Copies of this chain bind each other. A is one copy, B any other.
Protein backbone atom coordinates (compact mmCIF):
# COMPACT_ATOMS: atom_id res chain seq x y z
CA UNK A 1 0.00 0.00 0.00
CA UNK A 2 1.39 3.38 -0.97
CA UNK A 3 2.09 5.93 1.70
CA UNK A 4 -1.05 8.04 1.95
CA UNK A 5 0.79 11.19 3.00
CA UNK A 6 3.88 11.49 0.87
CA UNK A 7 3.98 15.28 1.12
CA UNK A 8 3.64 17.32 4.26
CA UNK A 9 1.40 19.79 2.47
CA UNK A 10 -0.73 17.31 0.66
CA UNK A 11 -2.47 18.84 -2.29
CA UNK A 12 -6.15 18.59 -1.79
CA UNK A 13 -7.15 19.99 -5.14
CA UNK A 14 -9.39 17.81 -7.24
CA UNK A 15 -7.95 16.37 -10.43
CA UNK A 16 -9.55 15.81 -13.79
CA UNK A 17 -10.12 12.26 -12.69
CA UNK A 18 -12.11 13.35 -9.66
CA UNK A 19 -14.28 15.63 -11.76
CA UNK A 20 -14.86 12.84 -14.24
CA UNK A 21 -15.94 10.48 -11.50
CA UNK A 22 -18.15 13.12 -9.96
CA UNK A 23 -19.82 13.88 -13.28
CA UNK A 24 -19.99 10.25 -14.33
CA UNK A 25 -18.05 10.77 -17.55
CA UNK A 26 -14.55 10.08 -18.78
CA UNK A 27 -11.50 12.25 -18.22
CA UNK A 28 -11.39 13.04 -21.90
CA UNK A 29 -14.84 14.53 -21.81
CA UNK A 30 -14.01 16.67 -18.84
CA UNK A 31 -10.87 17.80 -20.58
CA UNK A 32 -12.86 18.78 -23.65
CA UNK A 33 -15.36 20.75 -21.63
CA UNK A 34 -12.67 22.48 -19.63
CA UNK A 35 -10.98 23.46 -22.85
CA UNK A 36 -13.98 24.97 -24.55
CA UNK A 37 -16.37 22.07 -24.80
CA UNK A 38 -16.27 21.72 -28.57
CA UNK A 39 -17.81 18.51 -29.75
CA UNK A 40 -19.52 17.61 -26.52
CA UNK A 41 -23.29 17.42 -26.25
CA UNK A 42 -24.87 20.18 -24.25
CA UNK A 43 -26.33 18.10 -21.43
CA UNK A 44 -22.97 16.54 -20.79
CA UNK A 45 -21.30 19.91 -20.90
CA UNK A 46 -23.63 21.19 -18.21
CA UNK A 47 -23.13 18.10 -16.16
CA UNK A 48 -19.36 18.51 -16.27
CA UNK A 49 -19.49 22.23 -15.60
CA UNK A 50 -21.53 21.54 -12.53
CA UNK A 51 -19.04 19.02 -11.27
CA UNK A 52 -16.20 21.46 -11.92
CA UNK A 53 -17.95 24.11 -9.87
CA UNK A 54 -18.88 21.83 -7.06
CA UNK A 55 -15.40 20.48 -6.68
CA UNK A 56 -13.73 23.82 -7.30
CA UNK A 57 -11.60 22.23 -9.94
CA UNK A 58 -8.75 24.20 -11.45
CA UNK A 59 -6.54 22.52 -14.04
CA UNK A 60 -3.01 21.75 -12.98
CA UNK A 61 -0.81 23.98 -14.97
CA UNK A 62 2.29 21.84 -15.00
CA UNK A 63 0.48 18.78 -16.23
CA UNK A 64 -1.14 20.73 -19.02
CA UNK A 65 2.07 22.43 -20.04
CA UNK A 66 3.89 19.13 -20.05
CA UNK A 67 1.73 17.90 -22.88
CA UNK A 68 0.73 21.06 -24.73
CA UNK A 69 4.07 22.80 -24.49
CA UNK A 70 2.22 26.00 -23.94
CA UNK A 71 1.79 27.79 -20.72
CA UNK A 72 -0.04 30.99 -21.39
CA UNK A 73 2.60 33.24 -19.97
CA UNK A 74 4.99 35.66 -21.59
CA UNK A 75 8.08 37.12 -20.00
CA UNK A 76 9.09 40.72 -20.23
CA UNK A 77 12.74 41.35 -19.63
CA UNK A 78 14.19 44.78 -19.28
CA UNK A 79 17.92 44.84 -18.93
CA UNK A 80 18.11 47.99 -16.89
CA UNK A 81 18.77 48.57 -13.23
CA UNK A 82 15.47 48.37 -11.45
CA UNK A 83 15.58 51.99 -10.34
CA UNK A 84 15.51 52.98 -13.99
CA UNK A 85 12.65 50.68 -14.80
CA UNK A 86 10.64 52.10 -11.99
CA UNK A 87 11.51 55.72 -12.52
CA UNK A 88 11.40 56.13 -16.25
CA UNK A 89 7.78 56.43 -17.29
CA UNK A 90 8.81 55.06 -20.65
CA UNK A 91 8.93 51.55 -19.26
CA UNK A 92 5.73 51.79 -17.33
CA UNK A 93 3.92 52.96 -20.46
CA UNK A 94 5.30 50.19 -22.55
CA UNK A 95 4.47 47.64 -19.90
CA UNK A 96 0.97 48.98 -19.75
CA UNK A 97 0.56 48.41 -23.47
CA UNK A 98 1.95 44.94 -23.20
CA UNK A 99 -0.15 44.10 -20.20
CA UNK A 100 -3.36 45.18 -21.91
CA UNK A 101 -2.67 43.29 -25.08
CA UNK A 102 -1.58 40.20 -23.22
CA UNK A 103 -4.82 40.30 -21.28
CA UNK A 104 -6.69 40.43 -24.53
CA UNK A 105 -4.89 37.26 -25.54
CA UNK A 106 -5.60 35.75 -22.16
CA UNK A 107 -1.93 35.42 -21.40
CA UNK A 108 -0.11 36.21 -18.22
CA UNK A 109 2.59 38.85 -18.03
CA UNK A 110 5.65 37.81 -16.10
CA UNK A 111 8.10 40.57 -15.41
CA UNK A 112 11.64 39.33 -15.01
CA UNK A 113 14.02 41.68 -13.29
CA UNK A 114 17.64 41.37 -14.21
CA UNK A 115 20.12 42.89 -11.87
CA UNK A 116 23.64 42.28 -12.86
CA UNK A 117 25.54 39.61 -14.65
CA UNK A 118 24.84 36.70 -12.36
CA UNK A 119 21.15 37.00 -12.96
CA UNK A 120 21.44 35.81 -16.50
CA UNK A 121 21.94 32.27 -15.34
CA UNK A 122 18.68 32.35 -13.52
CA UNK A 123 16.92 33.98 -16.41
CA UNK A 124 18.40 31.47 -18.79
CA UNK A 125 17.13 28.60 -16.71
CA UNK A 126 13.78 30.26 -16.53
CA UNK A 127 13.47 30.79 -20.26
CA UNK A 128 15.04 27.54 -21.36
CA UNK A 129 13.11 25.61 -18.73
CA UNK A 130 9.97 26.63 -20.51
CA UNK A 131 8.25 28.73 -17.87
CA UNK A 132 7.01 31.02 -20.57
CA UNK A 133 5.91 30.72 -24.17
CA UNK A 134 7.94 33.63 -25.33
CA UNK A 135 9.79 36.74 -24.33
CA UNK A 136 9.57 40.42 -24.95
CA UNK A 137 12.96 42.01 -24.43
CA UNK A 138 13.70 45.67 -24.09
CA UNK A 139 16.47 48.05 -23.81
CA UNK A 140 19.01 45.71 -25.30
CA UNK A 141 22.59 46.84 -24.95
CA UNK A 142 25.45 46.08 -27.23
CA UNK A 143 26.99 43.55 -24.92
CA UNK A 144 23.73 41.98 -23.94
CA UNK A 145 23.68 38.22 -23.42
CA UNK A 146 19.98 37.95 -23.98
CA UNK A 147 20.02 37.69 -27.76
CA UNK A 148 22.50 34.84 -27.51
CA UNK A 149 20.31 33.03 -25.01
CA UNK A 150 17.25 33.60 -27.11
CA UNK A 151 18.98 32.27 -30.16
CA UNK A 152 20.53 29.32 -28.45
CA UNK A 153 17.35 28.09 -26.88
CA UNK A 154 15.13 29.23 -29.70
CA UNK A 155 12.87 31.13 -27.41
CA UNK A 156 10.20 32.91 -29.40
CA UNK A 157 10.95 36.57 -28.88
CA UNK A 158 10.27 40.09 -29.99
CA UNK A 159 12.61 42.95 -29.22
CA UNK A 160 11.54 46.38 -28.12
CA UNK A 161 13.90 48.66 -29.95
CA UNK A 162 16.21 47.64 -32.73
CA UNK A 163 19.03 45.48 -31.45
CA UNK A 164 22.57 46.47 -32.22
CA UNK A 165 23.28 43.76 -34.74
CA UNK A 166 20.87 43.24 -37.56
CA UNK A 167 18.07 40.99 -36.29
CA UNK A 168 19.69 37.66 -35.75
CA UNK A 169 18.48 34.23 -36.60
CA UNK A 170 16.95 32.32 -33.74
CA UNK A 171 19.03 29.30 -34.49
CA UNK A 172 16.65 28.03 -37.10
CA UNK A 173 17.76 30.87 -39.30
CA UNK A 174 14.68 32.97 -38.76
CA UNK A 175 15.19 36.54 -37.61
CA UNK A 176 13.90 37.92 -34.33
CA UNK A 177 11.59 40.80 -35.13
CA UNK A 178 11.64 44.10 -33.31
CA UNK A 179 9.34 47.03 -32.83
CA UNK A 180 10.91 50.43 -32.81
CA UNK A 181 9.95 53.97 -33.55
CA UNK A 182 11.60 56.02 -36.24
CA UNK A 183 14.28 57.41 -33.96
CA UNK A 184 16.36 58.89 -36.69
CA UNK A 185 13.46 60.53 -38.49
CA UNK A 186 12.08 61.88 -35.23
CA UNK A 187 15.45 63.35 -34.32
CA UNK A 188 15.70 64.97 -37.72
CA UNK A 189 12.32 66.55 -37.25
CA UNK A 190 13.29 67.86 -33.83
CA UNK A 191 16.52 69.40 -35.04
CA UNK A 192 14.92 70.84 -38.17
CA UNK A 193 12.36 72.47 -35.94
CA UNK A 194 15.11 74.08 -33.89
CA UNK A 195 16.83 75.25 -37.04
CA UNK A 196 13.57 76.63 -38.42
CA UNK A 197 13.35 78.69 -35.25
CA UNK A 198 16.55 80.38 -36.29
CA UNK A 199 18.80 78.55 -33.90
CA UNK A 200 22.32 78.19 -35.18
CA UNK A 201 24.23 76.55 -32.38
CA UNK A 202 22.15 73.48 -31.69
CA UNK A 203 23.65 71.09 -29.16
CA UNK A 204 22.70 67.50 -28.55
CA UNK A 205 22.53 65.59 -25.29
CA UNK A 206 22.77 61.99 -26.41
CA UNK A 207 21.73 58.76 -24.75
CA UNK A 208 24.06 55.91 -23.88
CA UNK A 209 26.03 54.79 -26.93
CA UNK A 210 25.30 51.16 -26.35
CA UNK A 211 21.67 51.56 -27.32
CA UNK A 212 20.54 51.94 -30.88
CA UNK A 213 17.82 54.42 -29.98
CA UNK A 214 20.50 56.79 -28.76
CA UNK A 215 22.72 56.16 -31.78
CA UNK A 216 19.85 56.64 -34.20
CA UNK A 217 18.92 59.94 -32.62
CA UNK A 218 22.50 61.09 -32.92
CA UNK A 219 22.41 60.12 -36.57
CA UNK A 220 19.22 62.11 -37.06
CA UNK A 221 20.86 65.13 -35.47
CA UNK A 222 23.85 64.78 -37.78
CA UNK A 223 21.66 64.30 -40.82
CA UNK A 224 20.44 67.84 -40.33
CA UNK A 225 23.63 69.32 -38.98
CA UNK A 226 26.47 67.36 -40.55
CA UNK A 227 28.96 70.12 -39.80
CA UNK A 228 28.05 70.71 -36.18
CA UNK A 229 30.92 71.13 -33.73
CA UNK A 230 31.51 67.71 -32.11
CA UNK A 231 31.81 69.54 -28.79
CA UNK A 232 28.13 70.33 -29.12
CA UNK A 233 27.28 66.69 -28.56
CA UNK A 234 27.66 65.28 -25.06
CA UNK A 235 26.59 61.95 -23.70
CA UNK A 236 23.95 61.34 -21.09
CA UNK A 237 22.41 58.23 -19.63
CA UNK A 238 18.68 58.77 -20.14
CA UNK A 239 18.16 59.86 -16.52
CA UNK A 240 17.21 63.33 -15.28
CA UNK A 241 20.40 63.70 -13.30
CA UNK A 242 22.45 62.59 -16.27
CA UNK A 243 20.70 65.23 -18.35
CA UNK A 244 21.54 67.86 -15.77
CA UNK A 245 25.20 66.90 -15.72
CA UNK A 246 25.34 66.89 -19.50
CA UNK A 247 23.80 70.34 -19.63
CA UNK A 248 26.38 71.64 -17.20
CA UNK A 249 29.18 70.27 -19.33
CA UNK A 250 27.63 71.75 -22.43
CA UNK A 251 27.35 75.15 -20.79
CA UNK A 252 31.02 75.02 -19.88
CA UNK A 253 32.23 74.00 -23.28
CA UNK A 254 29.91 76.03 -25.45
CA UNK A 255 28.24 78.75 -23.40
CA UNK A 256 27.09 80.31 -26.65
CA UNK A 257 24.68 77.49 -27.58
CA UNK A 258 21.16 78.60 -28.38
CA UNK A 259 19.31 75.27 -28.56
CA UNK A 260 19.56 71.70 -27.35
CA UNK A 261 18.02 68.57 -28.76
CA UNK A 262 17.89 66.15 -25.85
CA UNK A 263 17.59 62.44 -26.55
CA UNK A 264 14.77 61.87 -24.07
CA UNK A 265 12.36 63.84 -21.91
CA UNK A 266 13.80 62.73 -18.61
CA UNK A 267 17.23 64.12 -19.52
CA UNK A 268 15.53 67.22 -20.91
CA UNK A 269 13.87 67.83 -17.56
CA UNK A 270 17.26 67.63 -15.89
CA UNK A 271 18.77 69.96 -18.45
CA UNK A 272 15.93 72.39 -17.92
CA UNK A 273 16.56 72.36 -14.19
CA UNK A 274 20.16 73.39 -14.77
CA UNK A 275 19.20 76.07 -17.26
CA UNK A 276 16.72 77.59 -14.83
CA UNK A 277 19.17 77.41 -11.97
CA UNK A 278 21.64 79.38 -14.10
CA UNK A 279 18.97 81.90 -14.97
CA UNK A 280 19.03 80.98 -18.64
CA UNK A 281 15.64 81.70 -20.16
CA UNK A 282 13.91 78.90 -22.04
CA UNK A 283 13.08 79.12 -24.89
CA UNK A 284 14.20 82.74 -25.37
CA UNK A 285 17.90 82.14 -24.86
CA UNK A 286 18.06 78.40 -25.24
CA UNK A 287 15.38 76.35 -26.95
CA UNK A 288 14.92 72.76 -25.86
CA UNK A 289 13.40 69.76 -27.58
CA UNK A 290 13.05 66.39 -25.93
CA UNK A 291 12.10 62.92 -27.14
CA UNK A 292 9.43 60.42 -26.06
CA UNK A 293 6.62 62.75 -25.03
CA UNK A 294 6.12 61.24 -21.64
CA UNK A 295 3.18 63.30 -20.40
CA UNK A 296 4.19 63.03 -16.77
CA UNK A 297 7.52 64.59 -17.61
CA UNK A 298 7.02 66.76 -20.68
CA UNK A 299 3.88 68.46 -19.43
CA UNK A 300 5.10 68.88 -15.89
CA UNK A 301 8.21 70.90 -16.66
CA UNK A 302 8.26 74.66 -16.71
CA UNK A 303 8.05 75.49 -19.51
CA UNK A 304 6.42 72.33 -20.87
CA UNK A 305 8.62 70.45 -23.30
CA UNK A 306 8.43 70.49 -27.03
CA UNK A 307 9.24 66.91 -27.84
CA UNK A 308 9.05 64.04 -30.29
CA UNK A 309 6.18 61.73 -29.54
CA UNK A 310 6.36 58.00 -29.99
CA UNK A 311 3.42 55.77 -29.27
CA UNK A 312 5.02 53.73 -26.56
CA UNK A 313 1.90 51.97 -25.38
CA UNK A 314 0.99 51.10 -28.95
CA UNK A 315 4.45 49.73 -29.53
CA UNK A 316 4.05 47.52 -26.51
CA UNK A 317 0.79 46.15 -27.86
CA UNK A 318 2.37 45.61 -31.23
CA UNK A 319 5.16 43.58 -29.69
CA UNK A 320 2.62 41.27 -28.12
CA UNK A 321 0.76 40.87 -31.38
CA UNK A 322 3.91 39.95 -33.23
CA UNK A 323 4.81 37.42 -30.59
CA UNK A 324 1.35 35.90 -30.65
CA UNK A 325 1.47 35.58 -34.41
CA UNK A 326 4.70 33.71 -34.11
CA UNK A 327 3.34 31.51 -31.37
CA UNK A 328 0.22 30.70 -33.32
CA UNK A 329 1.80 30.04 -36.65
CA UNK A 330 4.89 28.25 -35.54
CA UNK A 331 8.51 29.01 -36.16
CA UNK A 332 8.03 28.87 -39.88
CA UNK A 333 6.43 32.24 -40.32
CA UNK A 334 8.26 35.03 -38.68
CA UNK A 335 6.47 38.34 -38.67
CA UNK A 336 8.51 41.27 -39.92
CA UNK A 337 9.86 44.01 -37.70
CA UNK A 338 7.95 47.25 -37.63
CA UNK A 339 9.09 50.81 -37.30
CA UNK A 340 6.43 53.22 -36.10
CA UNK A 341 6.24 56.92 -36.98
CA UNK A 342 6.99 59.78 -34.62
CA UNK A 343 5.38 63.17 -34.32
CA UNK A 344 6.73 66.51 -33.16
CA UNK A 345 4.66 67.91 -30.31
CA UNK A 346 5.06 71.64 -29.90
CA UNK A 347 4.88 73.03 -26.43
CA UNK A 348 6.64 76.02 -24.89
CA UNK A 349 10.27 74.98 -24.67
CA UNK A 350 11.01 75.44 -28.38
Contacts and interface: CB of A to CB of B under 8 A. Distances in A.
B108 A111 contact: no
A103 interface: yes
Interface string A119-136: 100101110111100000
Nearest to A91: B86
Given A87-B89, A129-B59, A108 B95 contact: no
Interface in A187-242: none
A331 B86 contact: no
A26 interface: no
Contact of A89 (B60, B86, B118): B86
Interface string A98-117: 01100100101111110100
A58 B65 CA distance: 16
A332 interface: yes
A61 B130 contact: yes
A96 interface: yes
Contacts of A113: 95, 99, 109, 111
A166 interface: no
B332 A87 contact: no
A71 interface: yes
Interface residues of A, number: 57
Interface in A32-79: 56, 58-63, 65-66, 69, 71, 73
Nearest to A114: B99
Contact of A131 (B108, B122, B331): B108
Contacts of A331: 8-9
A113 B190 CA distance: 35
Contact of A8 (B73, B124, B332): B332
A330 interface: yes
A71 B128 CA distance: 14
21 contacts: A7-B69, A8-B329, A11-B69, A58-B125, A58-B129, A61-B131, A62-B62, A62-B63, A62-B65, A66-B66, A82-B95, A82-B99, A83-B92, A85-B86, A86-B86, A86-B92, A99-B113, A108-B112, A108-B122, A110-B110, A110-B112
